Chains A and B, each alone.
Chain A
Amino acid sequence: ETGVTQTPRHLVMGMTNKKSLKCEQHLGHNAMYWYKQSAKKPLELMFVYNFKEQTENNSVPSRFSPECPNSSHLFLHLHTLQPEDSALYLCASSQGGTTWEQYFGPGTRLTVT
């Protein structure tokens, strides 16, 4: 596969469940990002990893826990979520340097019931 892939594409979970979102990039990039996309709101940057080190955490609730085992993989672990956490979660990667272009995955549509 090429580009940025995300699994699963759709997820329905109860408020007491624990689940994980997976992102993989096949571009050789060194930075990876998690975004939350909700209707009529700007994309919210949640976490940033640069060379596997977390560099940004934009006041995200602790029920979201990121993990970056290597530069190609990024996880978002979810537990005890709230209905307002329902959204499209996008993963992106970038090379950095002089272009800073981000490549996005297709997203995981999360519904919390």
Chain B
Amino acid sequence: AQTVTQSQPEMSVQEAETVTLSCTYDTSESNYYLFWYKQPPSRQMILVIRQEAYKQQNATENRFSVNFQKAAKSFSLKISDSQLGDTAMYFCAFMKPGSNQFYFGTGTSLTVIP
């Protein structure tokens, strides 16, 4: 079975600064998808960014980027120019294509301080 570990239960960052959330996973698969989801307080969970394991290039979405280290099984999320609206729980997730099975970490609660 796959496991996803987020070792930082809580983090904080000053507005406009950069923060990195860590995620590691354990799998014997060679092809898979990795995701970062954001769950703002009392709001719906939304996808932030997605990475296919066969792609070496790190995914980026505006202020969000990942550092995907396949050999180390690491998938960190970098948020640049942090904004107050980035305050949320962030979940890292793993998925094997075709399996319908998604594995989530325990989440990191990020607070952006004005």
Contact = CB atoms under 8 A, between A and B. Distances in A.
Interface of A: 3-4, 31, 33, 40-43, 45, 48, 50, 55-56, 90, 99-107
B95 interface: yes
Contacts of B4: 42
Contact of A31 (B9, B44, B100): B100
A56 B101 contact: yes
Chain B binding surface, main DSSP class = strand
B43 interface: yes
Interface string B7-50: 00100000000000000000000000101010000011111001
Interface residues of B, number: 23
Closest 6 A/B residue pairs (Cβ): A43-B104, A104-B45, A48-B100, A42-B104, A106-B44, A42-B106
A56 B103 CA distance: 13
Contact of A90 (B43, B45, B107): B45
Contacts of A103: 47
Contact of B47 (A31, A42, A101): A101
Given A100-B33, A102-B47, A55 B100 contact: yes
